[in-house]
Amino acid sequence: MRGPLVDWYARHARDLPWRHDDCPAWGVLVSEVMLQQTPVVRVLPRWTEWMERWPGPTELADAGPGEAVRAWGRLGYPRRALRLVDAATALRDHHGGEVPQDEQTLRSLPGIGEYTAAAVAAFAFGRRAVVVDTNIRRVQARAVTGVALPAPGYTAAERRLATGLLPADAAESVRWNVSTMELGALVCTARNPSCGHCPLVDQCAWVAAGSPPDDGPPRRTQAWAGTDRQARGRIVQALRDADGPLSREQVLTAAGAAEAQAERCLGGLLEDGLAEGDDRAGYTLPQ
DNA sequence: GATCCGTGGCC
DNA sequence: TGGCCAAGGAT
């Protein structure tokens, strides 16, 4: 299935700035962190600003967490911005200001897990790495395993499958990874896949089986209204939009939650390093 | 391994 | 309308 897939990619891949040949490894790393659980269209403008402002890890490390969280905007999961600053600081202080090439070292950086380490090794450095994201999981679940959707959690069996499918040659493996990922993002989507436009339709085990619906356990949808996540998000947004420190009263009001929950969320944000201050001086983003 | 962690758009 | 999903990671 390599030929048709890579050919499809050559004709239909999106032109994304972090895929350009002249994009530095740092740009690839930033894009991968921003893309964690976040759609491409939302990342694009933030990534461009970010790279103009902090073209390398040293510049970001020197800027500090507050500016990073503010520049993160509404991408969501702002702890990613803090971890990116922490990773940049580690690169500046312990890696000569360079992004390391091997997965092991990448994996040791804050906010860089199994997927992101493999993606940076492959896409920034052309290395052979087993890249498994939600798109690749879904494409392989359908094309190879013959089921509509992968299980909720990433399994060892999936890792073995992806490892076995990965081409031995490094350059081919990179094309394979990016092509499979792109197919999952554009054609082999979670809802309403465009099988009529899929280069793998003739060899897809799921299509061959008649495209049966998902028969796995019902997926737990995450609650939103009334959760700590919502309240934390409101507090961080208020801190981000504020010119100066906010009083305790202003923070708790921004949370839009009952007092006990608002207190808990403020405490959690202080612990996480997403907020700073006290009742006397007021509260701000970290400095 | 189960949970927690934001945000917004889509069908 | 609202459940569901988007290039996951840390604990």
For residue A283, the surrounding DSSP H or E stretch is: strand A282-284
CA of A157 to C1' of C1 (A): 38
CA–CA gap between residue A282 and residue A249 (Å, rounded): 9
Q: If DSSP codes are grouped into helix, strand and coil, which group holds residue A165?
A: helix
Could you check: is the Cβ of residue A37 within 7 Å of any atom of nucleic acid strand C? yes
CA–CA gap between residue A6 and residue A122 (Å, rounded): 16
pLDDT in tens, A41-91: 999 999 999 999 999 999 999 999 999 999 999 999 999 999 999 999 999
In this prediction, the residues of chain A whose per-residue pLDDT falls under 70 are 1
CA–CA gap between residue A119 and residue A28 (Å, rounded): 9
CA–CA gap between residue A224 and residue A267 (Å, rounded): 20
Could you check: is the Cβ of residue A150 within 7 Å of any atom of nucleic acid strand C? no
Closest nucleotide (C1' vs CA) to A111 is C9
The pLDDT of residue A31 is: 98
Could you check: is the Cβ of residue A181 within 7 Å of any atom of nucleic acid strand C? yes
The pLDDT of residue A1 is: 66
Which residue in this structure is represented by tokens 């400095």? Answer: A287
CA of A6 to C1' of B6 (A): 34
Which of chain A's residues 244-283 bind strand C, using a 7 Å CB cutoff?
none
